[in-house]
Amino acid sequence: MLVPEEFIEDAIQKIKEKIGDDKAIIALSGGVDSSVCSVLVQKAIENNLIAIFVNHGLLREGEVEEVTNTFKDRLNFNYVDASEEFLDALKGVEDPEEKRKIIGKVFIEVFEREAEKTDAKYLVQGTIAPDWIESEGKIKSHHNLALPSGMVLEVVEPIRDLYKDEVREIGLKLDLPEKVIYRQPFPGPGLAVRVIGDLTKEKLEICRKANKIVSDEVEKAGIDKEVWQYFAVLTDTKATGVKGDQRDFGYLVVLRIVNSVDAMTAYVPELPWQLVQKISKRITSEVSEVTHVALSISDKPPATIEFA
Ligand code: XMP
């Protein structure tokens, strides 16, 4: 069984031995794995760890401020706003897999550019056990990242043997805020997988507003820790509605709330009807471009958790 204090002490010792006086970088997303990993490595090598937080323009409302406020005094924290670069690369792209590939490629380009500004020798990654167990045999345990300049970063994975619940225990011991530790999973490609069809700033803003309403209401209802994920999807379907005494042809938004243990399977729990109604009412009245809200009732399988 994991004893958090022992794990932390041991991990700090090992990181010090491995990295010594050299520099390391990490891509910090604000999710629990990269956050715990960053704070742990910071404890070992202090400001020789450079944490890079990339804004790809696909983040949720208030996320940049939240991540920045949590980490600016805890880490050697570097914020990079690359949103225009990502949105340019994604212009007109409708296929979800193509969107993911473009986001992955641009992310590496941005990260490599930032890494080259430092003289880091190590790349810290918040890989945890399920990440490599699921793909065992496909990845090598010692892998390095060669940058375009020829610079090679050696990968260090201090929490690779931990499971999610253990990462959370370590995070609590490291005094990370509960908001970070119990944050619901948010996909790397962000809102790109929650906007169907091509991405525009306008559609992202609609999706962002609808998601903010969903999370506010789910948290207010006190079920945020009971469910796995809760979010809104902006579809490319339009539906007729009435606004005042005018006909309106607006967007259909789908509300998705699922429960899961490991994201491999998921089910839609019974939801308080008042909560569902409140979310629908708020989205259609506060987000003027939306006329209809539908509730997704499909489990995984056959559906996936995300819509794209
Ligand atoms: P699906 O939609 O495949 O999602 O049932 C399973 C879990 O993974 C998250 N997800 C992603 N996470 N990059 C990520 O980091 C991705 O491209 C991605 N796609 C899905 C999803 O939110 C769910 O928790």
**DSSP states along 178-229:** HHHHTPPP--TTGGGGTB-SS--HHHHHHHHHHHHHHHHHHHHTT-TTTSSE
Ligand 1 binding pocket (C-beta < 6 A) is 100, 185, 187-189, 193, 229, 263, 300, 304-306
For 31-68, the pLDDT digits (tens) are: 999 999 999 999 999 999 999 999 999 999 999 999 99
Q: What is the pTM for the complete model shown?
A: 0.93
pLDDT (tens digit, 9 = 90+) per residue, 274-308?
Answer: 999 999 999 999 999 999 999 999 999 999 999 99
CA of 306 to the centre of ligand 1 (A): 7
Evaluate whether 183 touches 199 at the Cβ level (below 8 Å): no
Asked if pLDDT for residue 130 goes beyond 90, the answer is no
Residue 139's pLDDT band (boundaries 50, 70, 90)? Answer: very low
Share of the chain above pLDDT 70, in %: 96
Quote the pLDDT of residue 134: 66
**Domains with residue ranges and CATH for the chain:** 4-182 (3.40.50.620), 201-295 (3.30.300.10)
Contact status, residue 27 vs residue 54, Cβ threshold 8 Å:
yes
Angle at 103 between CA 119 and CA 295, to 5 degrees: 135
DSSP 47: G
Q: How far is the CA of 135 from the centre of ligand 1 (A)?
A: 15
